[in-house]
Structure 1
Amino acid sequence: MISITIDKALLIQLVNFLLLIFILNMLLFKPIREAIKKRERKIQSDQDEIAKLQTEAEDRLKQFQLAIEEAKKEGLAKKEALRKAATEEERSLLAKVHSEVEEELTKVKTEITKEMQETREKLKEEIKVFASDIAEKILGRPLSHG
C-alpha cells in the first residue's frame, strides 16, 4: 500500500504558493482589475457624454430647422406685404394719373368749348358783315345800318 506523507518541503511549497498568490493579487491582479473597472467607467461615461451631445446636436438641428422655416415664413410674409404695398402704390398712382388726365381733359374741353363759342361769335359778326356786303353787291346800293 502506498502511503502519503506530508513533509516539510510540501508545506513550504504550499505556504510559498499561497504567499505568491497573495502578493500577485495585491501587486498585479487587483491593480489590473481596478484599471479595467476604471476604463469601463470611463467608457460608460464617454458613451453617456456622446449620447448627451448627440441629443443636444439633434435638438439644435431641430431648432435651426425651425428657425429656417420661421425665417422663410417671415420672408414670404414680407414679400407678400411688399407686393401688396406695391400694388396699392400702383393703384394709387394710376388713380392719381387718371384724375389728372380727367382734370386736364376737362380743362381742354372747357377751352375748346370757349374757343368754339368765341369763334361762333366772331363768325356771327363776320357773317353779318359778309351778308351785308353780299346784299349790297346784289342790290347795288348800300344798306342802311340801323
Structure 2
Amino acid sequence: MLDLNITLLFQLANFFIALFVLNLLLIRPVREIIKKRNGIMDGMAAEADAFNAEATEKLNAYEAELARARQQAGLAREEGRQSGLNEQQDIVGEAQQSARQLLAENRSALRGQAEAALNELRNGISDFSARLGNRLLGNS
C-alpha cells in the first residue's frame, strides 16, 4: 500500500520547485521566442501581402497604361491613314486639275493650228486652182 509520509511532501515540493525553475529558465524564454517569431512571421506575411497587393496594383496600372497606349497608337495610325488619304486626294485632285488645264491648252493650241492650217489651205486653194486652171487651159 501507499505509504504517505514526509518524503512525499518533499518530493512534491521538489517537483513544484523544479517546475517553477524550469518555467523561469526554460518555458517562459521559449514562449517569448515563439511569440517573437510568430510576430515576425505575421509581420513578414503582412509585408508579403502588401508587396503582392502593390505588385498587383502596378501590374493593373501597367496593363491599363498599355491598353491606353495601344488605343492612342490606333488613333494615331487612323489619323495618319486619314491624313494620307486626304493628302492623296489633294494630290490626285491637283494632278487632275493640271491634266485638265494641260488638255484644254493642248486642245486650244490644236484648234489654233487646225484653223491656221485650214486657212492656209483655203488661201492655197485659190492659188492652186488658178495654177491648175492655167495648166488646163494650156498656159503653162
Match of 1:119 in 2: 117
Cα distance between partner residues in 2 of 1:75 and 1:18? 81
Deviation at 1:134, TM superposition (A): 1.7
Cα distance between partner residues in 2 of 1:91 and 1:72? 28
135 and 17 in structure 1: CA distance in 2 versus 1, 3 angstrom threshold: same
Match of 1:107 in 2: 105
Query: Per-residue displacement from partner, 1:62-109 (whole Å, max 9, x unpaired)?
Result: 111111111110111011011001101110110011011111101100
128 and 15 in structure 1: CA distance in 2 versus 1, 3 angstrom threshold: same
Deviation at 1:18, TM superposition (A): 2.3
Match of 2:41 among 34, 40, 43: 43
Normalising by the residue count of structure 1, what TM-score does the alignment of the two structures yield?
0.86
Identity between Structure 1 and Structure 2 (%): 23
Cα distance between partner residues in 2 of 1:3 and 1:43? 51
Normalising by the residue count of structure 2, what TM-score does the alignment of the two structures yield?
0.89
107 and 5 in structure 1: CA distance in 2 versus 1, 3 angstrom threshold: closer
Deviation at 1:23, TM superposition (A): 1.3
Which segments of 5 or more consecutive residues in structure 1 lack a partner in the other structure? Answer: none
Amino acid corresponding to residue 97 of structure 1 in structure 2? A
Match of 1:74 in 2: 72
Q: How does 1:1-146 map to 2 (within 5 A)?
A: 6-7=5-6, 9-140=7-138
Query: Per-residue displacement from partner, 1:13-68 (whole Å, max 9, x unpaired)?
Result: 33333222211111100000111111111111111111111111111111111111
Amino acid corresponding to residue 20 of structure 1 in structure 2? A
Q: CA RMSD in A?
A: 2.0
Amino acid corresponding to residue 65 of structure 2 in structure 1? A
Cα distance between partner residues in 1 of 2:59 and 2:138? 114
- Number of residue pairs matched? 140
Which segments of 5 or more consecutive residues in structure 2 lack a partner in the other structure? Answer: none
